[in-house]
Amino acid sequence: MAEAPKYHTPPSPLYLRGGAIALIPKRQTMERLAKTDIKYLPGVGPRRAELLGKELDIHSFYDLLYYFPFRYIDRSTIHKISDMQGEMPYIQLKGRFLSFAPQGEGAKRRLNALFTDGTGTIEVVWFNRVKYIMENYHTGKEYILFGKPTIYKGHYNMAHPEVDPYKPEALNRGLVGVYNLTEKMHNRSFTTRALQKIVKALLEHQLFQSVSETLPQSTINRYKLMPLKEALINIHTPQSIQLLQQSQRRLKFEELFFLQMNILKYIKGRNAQVPGHVFAHVGEHFNSFYKSYLKFPLTGAQKRVIKEMRHDMGSGKQMNRLLQGDVGSGKTIVAFMTMLLAADNGYQACIMAPTEILASQHYESIGEMAQAVGLKAALLTGSTRKKEREKIHEQLMSGELNILIGTHALIEDTVKFKNLGLAIIDEQHRFGVAQRAKLWHKNTTPPHVLVMTATPIPRTLAMTVYGDLDVSVIDELPPGRKPVTTVLRYENNHMAVYHFIGQELKKGRQCYIVYPLIEENEKLDLRALEEGYEIIRENFPSYRVAYVHGKMKPNEKDYQMGLFASGQAHILVSTTVIEVGVNVPNASVMVIENAERFGLSQLHQLRGRVGRGADQSYCILMSKYQLSKETRHRLKVMTETNDGFVVAEEDMKLRGPGDMEGTQQSGVAFNLRIANLASDGVVLQAARDEAQRILEEDFELKSADGKMLQRTMRFLFSRDTNWGMIS
């Protein structure tokens, strides 16, 4: 193994406090940085502090120290205007201004300048600070321009570049960090250069000089990590690309390490403290269903997942498991068979779904299967009549009711079980944390918890957002299911698409046509949907067309959905309200209008509405022809794979974890400053392995290293979400 590079951290200097000299206690340095108002940093002051706080959420020395550049540029290279071609990055030019020409008045006032480096010319434009620029920049003098060239009317120009008088030593700056700033900051002349200056002041400040290590030396040695202080210096002012990469690796590792420490410590503590109902045996209900009533043989993946859950529920510890599986992979059968295990051991089970439609569909399938093996199931939603509700409450308390299926009505205080042993939550990201937690209190000993989702979650995201849950994956489709054929068609192909829909309808099939939803403009959305509805009716006069959107009253929406689900309507024109909760095996065509306006995860969820029967099904993505590179890639992914996990990985690469369907509403309980769950899977695994190793050796964190980690965790997570509530 190669020898780790050696780093030399200077000794902690003295810190002046109230005229006296005191050595800062090392353990308090991060807390002091976090408690020291940014306005006290040289070069900031009250006005800039207010701007930093409002625009970038930087209120303290610590906030600034951990506000990292989002990219780096090489300020030692000078480009030639004559060599510029195509799309250009941020570059430097050296030359002279030939002329300045103010134009317009008032709010439309701007300043145009012509700049040359001897090989060609480029136009430079400013839309504010015109008077200042004209007074301070002059023709004939040599300047360094730094900015991003763009092509306007066939010629390159540069808007609001950084301008510095040319000095040969300025070209020794090398790599320079570029920070995300808001438009308001630019308008107030707070540039990247201004932020670089105050970061430099912070790195030279006595308080920063006292920054001490947060990771055990054994961890640093094992993973050849750069010391924290060196990493913080090189992330802001890298001396070389190699040192920048080492600093990024160190800070990513640290961020993910403490995240995993927090999760794993919680899990181990919970397992030690929270006992689980013991489902000791497999009994008559489970066996009779498996042998006599199972319509299709279980896939290998379904068998594996049931085995994992049987082990959990027989261990004496509370099960907390996430069940992932694409639409149609057979999650409902697996869920039902775990309910049978509960019944065989004398316990009740419940399943909570996000919509009445989905709850009703669960009830139809689960209720029928339960009845076949002699169990009683009931449906409880907001629409359940008072008399029926009272009957359900009575049967729950007596134990006569074995399985309760419903919406959030299940977690009302009036709903009490005799002996709830298993709680299943379907599409859990659609429930709030507090709502889900209420299921825990439906028994004196918390029930086993199974969380189900049809939104495939990338492995790295599952290890963090759902890090306190054990993960099971159904990664096989039941036999006989055919992959959905997905194609991209453009707006001028509508008539050919309608002809194809007509052919499928003649075979007795049904079709979805989905329109996008832009929440900012509901009127336009509704108008587009209504126009689409009329066009479909005109093109398919012999067929009944149902019509659904989110602004409908629930009973009207259910009526229209019911027409389609029962086969009375042949086409359903809809917004994305059908994304979750409609099971129509006879539907073989999904047309998604303006597919370029949907995210990958949403497109995949919509595609999952078809392909639920034995017939070949089709998903047709309708799009305008002019597409950005990223959008074209997104639609290409959809046409090339049906694998939800491939789609989810690509979605996370494109959008980042915080914006992904399924994580936004569950609340990503942390803010990653530098690590990227889409690309840092290797670092995440190493960080989790190290956290696991440390906790196995010193769970209480009582050693000297453990106490240091405990202090850091307390500091980092003091204001964060309670991880114990995530499941």
Residues 439-493 have pLDDT tens digits of 777 777 789 989 888 777 777 777 776 666 788 888 887 777 788 999 999 988 9
Distance CA 579, CA 599 (A): 13
Residues 305-322 have pLDDT tens digits of 999 999 999 888 888 888
**21 pairs with which residues across the strands?**
16
465 and 492, same domain (yes or no): no
Asked, for residue 413, whether it belongs to a domain, the answer is yes
Residue-level pLDDT at 11: 32
Residues 223-260 have pLDDT tens digits of 999 999 999 999 999 988 889 999 999 999 999 999 89
C-alpha angle with apex 334: 329 to 335, nearest 5 degrees? 115
**Percent of all residues in the chain with a pLDDT value above 90, rounded to a whole number:** 38
Residue 684 identity: L
Domain boundary (474, 508, 534) is at: 474
396 and 289, same domain (yes or no): yes
Asked, for residue 92, whether it belongs to a domain, the answer is yes
Please report where in the chains the tokens 């993960």 appear, as a residue.
471
Q: pLDDT-derived band of residue 639, with 50, 70 and 90 as boundaries?
A: very high
C-alpha neighbours within 13 Å on the C-beta side of residue 271:
16
Asked, for residue 648, whether it belongs to a domain, the answer is no
Distance CA 512, CA 572 (A): 5
Please report where in the chains the tokens 């990771």 appear, as a residue.
215
Do 41 and 198 contact (CB within 8 A), yes or no?
yes
Distance CA 490, CA 467 (A): 41
383 and 312, same domain (yes or no): yes
Do 635 and 596 contact (CB within 8 A), yes or no?
yes
Residues 94-143 have pLDDT tens digits of 999 999 988 887 777 888 999 999 999 999 998 877 888 888 898 989 99
Residue 110 identity: R
SS (HEC) of 539-586? HCCCCCEEEECCCCCHHHHHHHHHHHHCCCCCEEEECHHHCCCCCCCC
114 and 35, same domain (yes or no): no
Asked, for residue 254, whether it belongs to a domain, the answer is no
Q: Token digits for 159?
A: 């808007």
451 and 501, same domain (yes or no): no
pLDDT of 426 above 50: yes
Residue-level pLDDT at 717: 79
Asked, for residue 691, whether it belongs to a domain, the answer is no
Asked, for residue 145, whether it belongs to a domain, the answer is yes
User: What mean pLDDT do residues 289-318 have?
Assistant: 90
CA distances 126 to 152, 155, 162, 271, Å, are 15, 17, 11, 62
Please state the φ and ψ torsions of residue 324, each to the nearest 5 degrees.
-105, 140
155 and 63, same domain (yes or no): no
Q: If 0-12 CB within 10 Å is exposed, 13-18 middle and 19+ buried, where does residue 471 land?
A: middle
Residue 608 identity: G
311 and 444, same domain (yes or no): yes
Q: pLDDT-derived band of residue 7, with 50, 70 and 90 as boundaries?
A: very low
Domain total for the chain? 4
pLDDT of 678 above 50: yes
622 and 497, same domain (yes or no): yes
- Residue 88's CATH number: 2.40.50.140
Distance CA 53, CA 402 (A): 55
Arithmetic mean of pLDDT over the chain: 83
Give strand ranges (E) for 32-141: 71-74, 91-103, 110-116, 121-126
Domain boundary (591, 625, 641) is at: 641
Q: pLDDT-derived band of residue 361, with 50, 70 and 90 as boundaries?
A: confident
Give strand ranges (E) for 220-365: 320-325, 348-352
Q: If 0-12 CB within 10 Å is exposed, 13-18 middle and 19+ buried, where does residue 69 land?
A: buried
Strand 403-406 to strand 377-380: parallel, antiparallel, or no bridges (unpaired)?
A: parallel
Asked, for residue 116, whether it belongs to a domain, the answer is yes
C-alpha neighbours within 13 Å on the C-beta side of residue 123:
15
pLDDT of 382 above 60: yes
451 and 400, same domain (yes or no): yes
Q: pLDDT-derived band of residue 572, with 50, 70 and 90 as boundaries?
A: very high
Residue 259 CA, distance from chain mean position: 16
Distance CA 289, CA 674 (A): 51
Q: Report the range of poorest mean pLDDT among 238-252, 665-679, 703-717.
A: 665-679
Asked, for residue 668, whether it belongs to a domain, the answer is no
Do 488 and 619 contact (CB within 8 A), yes or no?
no
- Residue 467's CATH number: 3.40.50.300
pLDDT of 353 above 50: yes
Residue-level pLDDT at 380: 92
**Percent of all residues in the chain with a pLDDT value above 70, rounded to a whole number:** 87
pLDDT of 670 above 80: no
Contacts (Cβ under 8 Å, ≥6 apart) of 592: 514, 598, 603, 606, 619, 620, 621, 622
109 and 65, same domain (yes or no): no
pLDDT of 202 above 90: yes
Structural domain range at position 411: 284-474
pLDDT of 709 above 60: yes
Contacts (Cβ under 8 Å, ≥6 apart) of 68: 177, 179, 235, 236, 251, 673, 674
Domain boundary (641, 666, 686) is at: 641
User: What mean pLDDT do residues 379-402 have?
Assistant: 91
55 and 99, same domain (yes or no): no
Q: Token digits for 692?
A: 């696991």
Residue-level pLDDT at 524: 67
C-alpha neighbours within 13 Å on the C-beta side of residue 112:
9
Residues 16-66 have pLDDT tens digits of 333 333 333 444 678 889 899 999 999 999 999 999 999 999 999 999 999
Do 616 and 588 contact (CB within 8 A), yes or no?
yes
Whether the pTM exceeds 0.85: the reply is no
95 and 236, same domain (yes or no): no
Q: Is 330 left (phi over 0), alpha (psi -120 to 50) or beta?
A: left
Count of Cβ atoms closer than 10 Å to residue 204 Cβ:
10
The C-alpha torsion from 484 through 485 and 491 to 495, rounded to 10°, is -100
